[in-house]
Structure formats: C-alpha cells, structure tokens
Amino acid sequence: MNKLLVALGLAATVALVGCNKKESPETGATTGEHLENAADQAGHDIADASHNAANATATAVDNTAEATAEAADNAAAHAEDAAHNAKEAAKDATAAVAGSVEQGAANVKEKAQQ
C-alpha cells in the first residue's frame, strides 16, 4: 500500500512539474510520456506489493499451521500425562481404600475376640 501511495505521489509530482515547465524535460520526453512511465512504474510497484503481500500471507499461514500442529502435539502429550496420572491416582486410592477396609476388618475382628 505504501508503494502504491509513493507511486501515485510520484505520478502527481511528475504531472505537476511537467505541467509547470514550458520547455521540454531534459530527457526530451513529453509530459504524457512521463505520466505513462510513472503509470507503468506504479503498475510494477503495485504488482511487487501484491506479490510481497501474497508471500507474507503464505508465510503467516504456514507459521500458523506449524504452531497449530505443535499445540495439538503438546495437548496430546499433556492429555496422555494426565491420563497416566489419573490411572496412578486411581491405583493409589484403591490401595488406600483396601488398606482401610483391611484395617477396619482387623479392628472389628480384634474387638470381637475381646
């Protein structure tokens, strides 16, 4: 966009300078030829700016895709870790409950024998 504005500013400057001169420019080109050249240059600048914008967009899309894939991998790894931790916690809880039941049964048996 900046290149477009520069090109249009250049074209306007050339047009104003060309209109104010009474003699031919040093190059021997007419004002119309200067405007045509400025328009051609503006067209090239616009094409370059569009190409650069397309490349920047493609790069951003690639980076976003890579970041998304990495985030998905990290989420999967964390989910796997969480599942493993939940499994270990369930084992520990089961062992604790079994131990409490055995202790309670032992206490009941001991009291019954008294």
Span 31-88, pLDDT tens digits: 778 788 888 888 888 888 888 999 999 999 999 999 999 999 999 999 998 998 999 9
Question: What would the DSSP string read from start to end of 13-51?
Answer: HHHHHHHH-SSPPTT---HHHHHHHHHHHHHHHHHHHHH
Q: Are the C-beta atoms of residues 8 and 42 closer than 8 Å to each other? A: yes
Q: What is the pLDDT at residue 35?
A: 84
Q: For residue 39, what are the domain limits?
A: 2-113
Q: What are phi and psi of 24, to 5 degrees?
A: -70, 145
**Four-CA torsion 52, 53, 59, 62, nearest 10 degrees:** -140
Between residues 40 and 22, which one has the greater pLDDT?
40
CA distance 51 to 16: 30
Contact between 14 and 35 (Cβ < 8 Å) = yes
Number of domains in the chain: 1
Is the model more confident about 100 or about 28?
Answer: 100
